[in-house]
């Protein structure tokens, strides 16, 4: 027995190494781990896109709990006919509406979109070949940019821009070329129409390598509604250089009188070279539903379909069905006062004017938007009331918005996040607020600022 267990006893009684003492890895293993780390690094096409203002400021809001006027979504109920439609679809007798639908767009939805935009553009738009339903306008942008951009192609981006434009272009191998809207007025009441493109600067950006220009009208965050003359300048350059126009029109219904939204695809010679992007989230105040679309000539939409079918493939069936029912109802009262497309901007115009007043009352200089639901305001007159030295960011608008979130308990977004590096200084003394909020929340924001002004 002893002879049998002897080796086991000797093994058990052998002195053990200290708990944290492990043999060093051979040099070859260390090199292997280093090589593996490099191999699994983020692909170079996404370098520079790691930081997100949204991730940073959502966390800031969670940590300090300010009144959040930064993020762009309503905090009040959507029209009940779309939410009830979704409930009925999900629990109704047609069980197939909870299964996959047509990959390029649920038949009922693309049919409704075809009827709507055929009427608005005064041309027949095919529901089968000229419309693509996407996972939000975000994916519509992705599929458009990825489906039309080759390495080395130049894409003109108007600043400020929705922050996904730049990384999407770069990921596709394109080269962004930036041009800022410049404020041409320094005193008095400032409207979003006072932010303009320099015609010479824009003309000089176009060349034989230009593949596309991204237009956003009504504009986020300035609220600019591009005029006929401004759109004609862009259109003429697109036609001269054979350039695609990617028209982001997600705020198409949120336009304040006397301005009118003009779809650039309706201009002579532009249907053939325009992809227009829309959003159910913005149209029906249901941003969490993540349904968007793109429409344009079949030859251009085909490229988007190829990206979409190899990426998302299809979108939520019940949500598409509910959105379709919403459009069908609105088609029956298009242009009538009770239409949600008209009642929502009427409601928002009062909120816009109230925000402009309470920002002005504390010394900020707001740009009055003529579309959308954001307001940019210059806070430089309040510089002596904030302690920017308490924050470490390089740009003043980041320091201002963070200091305000922590100390005044009101959160906005730094607009320099929507500019390229050379042009960030243009808005370093500005802040972006959102006014598609309840009247109670806007009043609370006004009270917070008045209290701060009185105590500062």
Tens of pLDDT, residues 424-452: 999 999 999 999 999 999 999 999 999 99
- Same-domain check for residues 135 and 252: yes
- Same-domain check for residues 213 and 354: no
Residue with tokens 């200084």: 425
Q: Identify whether 415 is part of a domain.
A: yes
Q: Identify whether 280 is part of a domain.
A: yes
State phi, psi for 15 to the nearest 5 degrees.
-55, 135
- Same-domain check for residues 107 and 154: yes
Q: Identify whether 241 is part of a domain.
A: yes
Tens of pLDDT, residues 308-327: 999 999 999 999 999 999 99
CATH of the domain at 215: 3.40.640.10
- Rounded Cα gap, residues 74 and 68, in angstroms: 12
- Rounded Cα gap, residues 140 and 247, in angstroms: 11
- Return contacts of 264-270, CB within 8 angstroms, 24+ apart: 264/215, 264/217, 264/226, 264/231, 264/234, 264/235, 265/121, 265/296, 266/121, 266/122, 267/231, 267/232, 267/235, 268/235, 269/235, 269/239, 270/235, 270/238, 270/239, 270/245
The pLDDT assigned to 10 comes to 40
Q: Please enumerate in sequence order all residues whose Cβ is within 8 A of that of 32, keeping only pairs 6 or more positions apart, or say none.
A: none
**What is the chain's Cα-based Rg?**
27
- Same-domain check for residues 163 and 305: yes
Closest CA to 165 of 149, 181, 152, 151: 149
Q: Identify whether 7 is part of a domain.
A: no
Are the CB atoms for 348 and 438 separated by under 8 Å? no
Q: Domain end: 331, 355, 389, which one?
A: 331
Determine the structural domain holding residue 409 and report its residue range.
Answer: 53-76+339-455
For residue 52, the surrounding DSSP H or E stretch is none
Q: Identify whether 40 is part of a domain.
A: no
- Rounded Cα gap, residues 128 and 114, in angstroms: 9
- Same-domain check for residues 166 and 234: yes
- Same-domain check for residues 142 and 89: yes
- Same-domain check for residues 304 and 345: no
The pLDDT assigned to 30 comes to 61
Q: What is the mean pLDDT of the chain?
A: 93
- Same-domain check for residues 318 and 447: no
- Same-domain check for residues 228 and 208: yes
How many other CB atoms sit within 10 Å of the CB of residue 103?
Answer: 15
Are the CB atoms for 194 and 365 separated by under 8 Å? no
- Return contacts of 410-413, CB within 8 angstroms, 24+ apart: 410/66, 410/67, 410/69, 410/445, 410/448, 410/449, 410/452, 411/57, 411/60, 411/61, 411/66, 411/67, 411/68, 411/69, 411/70, 412/69, 412/70, 413/53, 413/57, 413/70, 413/71, 413/221
Q: How many domains does the chain have?
A: 2
Closest CA to 222 of 366, 365, 350: 366
Per-residue tokens: 187 = 């005193």
CATH of the domain at 445: 3.90.1150.10
- Same-domain check for residues 350 and 307: no
Q: Domain end: 314, 331, 348, which one?
A: 331
The pLDDT assigned to 350 comes to 98
Q: Identify whether 22 is part of a domain.
A: no
Q: Domain end: 298, 315, 331, which one?
A: 331
158 CB-contact burial (10 Å; exposed 0-12 / middle 13-18 / buried 19+): buried
- Same-domain check for residues 71 and 122: no
What pTM, to 2 d.p., does this model score?
Answer: 0.91
Q: What secondary structure, in 3-state letters, does 422-439 show?
A: HHHHHHCCEEEEECCCCH
State phi, psi for 142 to the nearest 5 degrees.
-60, -50
- Rounded Cα gap, residues 33 and 40, in angstroms: 11
- Same-domain check for residues 308 and 369: no
Q: Identify whether 39 is part of a domain.
A: no
The pLDDT assigned to 28 comes to 62
Which residues does the chain have with pLDDT short of 70?
Answer: 1-37
For residue 195, the surrounding DSSP H or E stretch is strand 195-196
Q: Identify whether 46 is part of a domain.
A: no
Per-residue tokens: 223 = 């609220």
Q: Please enumerate in sequence order all residues whose Cβ is within 8 A of that of 56, keeping only pairs 6 or more positions apart, or say none.
A: none
| Ordered strands of the 374-378 beta sheet | 190-191, 365-368, 374-378, 430-434
């Amino acid at each position: 027995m002893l002879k049998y267990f002897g080796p086991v006893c000797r093994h058990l009684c052998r002195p053990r190494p200290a708990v944290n003492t492990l043999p060093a890895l051979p040099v070859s293993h260390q090199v292997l781990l280093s090589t593996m780390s490099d191999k699994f690094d983020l692909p170079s096409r996404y370098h520079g896109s790691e930081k997100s203002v949204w991730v940073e400021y959502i966390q800031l809001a969670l940590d300090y709990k300010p009144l959040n006027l930064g993020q762009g979504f309503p905090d009040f109920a959507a029209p009940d006919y779309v939410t009830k439609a979704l409930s009925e679809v999900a629990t109704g007798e047609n069980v197939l509406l909870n299964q996959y639908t047509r990959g390029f767009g649920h038949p009922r939805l693309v049919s409704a979109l075809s009827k709507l935009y055929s009427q608005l553009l005064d041309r027949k738009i095919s529901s089968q070949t000229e419309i693509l339903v996407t996972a939000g306008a975000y994916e519509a942008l992705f599929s458009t940019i990825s489906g039309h951009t080759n390495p080395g192609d130049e894409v003109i981006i108007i600043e400020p821009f929705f922050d996904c434009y730049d990384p999407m272009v770069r990921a596709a191998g394109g080269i962004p070329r930036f041009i800022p809207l410049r404020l041409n007025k320094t005193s008095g009441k400032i409207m979003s129409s006072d932010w303009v493109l320099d015609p010479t600067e824009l003309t000089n950006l176009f060349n034989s390598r230009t593949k596309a220009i991204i237009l956003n009208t009504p504009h986020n965050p300035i609220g600019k509604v591009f005029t006929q003359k401004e759109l004609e300048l862009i259109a003429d350059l697109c036609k001269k250089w054979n350039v695609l126009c990617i028209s982001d029109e997600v705020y198409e219904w949120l336009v304040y009188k006397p301005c009118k939204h003009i779809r650039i695809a309706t201009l002579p010679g532009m249907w053939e070279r325009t992809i227009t992007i829309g959003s159910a989230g913005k149209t029906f105040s249901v941003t969490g539903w993540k349904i968007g679309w793109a429409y344009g000539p079949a030859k251009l939409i085909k490229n988007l379909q190829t990206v979409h079918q190899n990426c998302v493939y299809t979108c939520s069936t019940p949500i598409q069905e509910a959105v379709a029912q919403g459009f069908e109802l609105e088609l029956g009262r298009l242009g009538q006062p009770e239409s949600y497309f008209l009642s929502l901007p009427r409601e928002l115009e009062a909120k816009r004017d109230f925000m402009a007043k309470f920002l002005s009352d504390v010394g900020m200089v707001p740009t009055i938007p003529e579309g959308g639901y954001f307001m940019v305001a210059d806070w430089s007159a309040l510089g002596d009331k904030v302690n920017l030295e308490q924050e470490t960011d390089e740009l003043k608008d980041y320091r201002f918005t963070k200091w305000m979130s922590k100390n005044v308990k009101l959160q906005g977004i730094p607009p320099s996040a929507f500019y390229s590096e050379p042009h960030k200084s243009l808005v370093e003394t500005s802040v972006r607020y959102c006014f598609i909020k309840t009247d109670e929340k806007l009043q609370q924001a006004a009270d917070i600022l008045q209290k701060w002004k009185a105590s500062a």
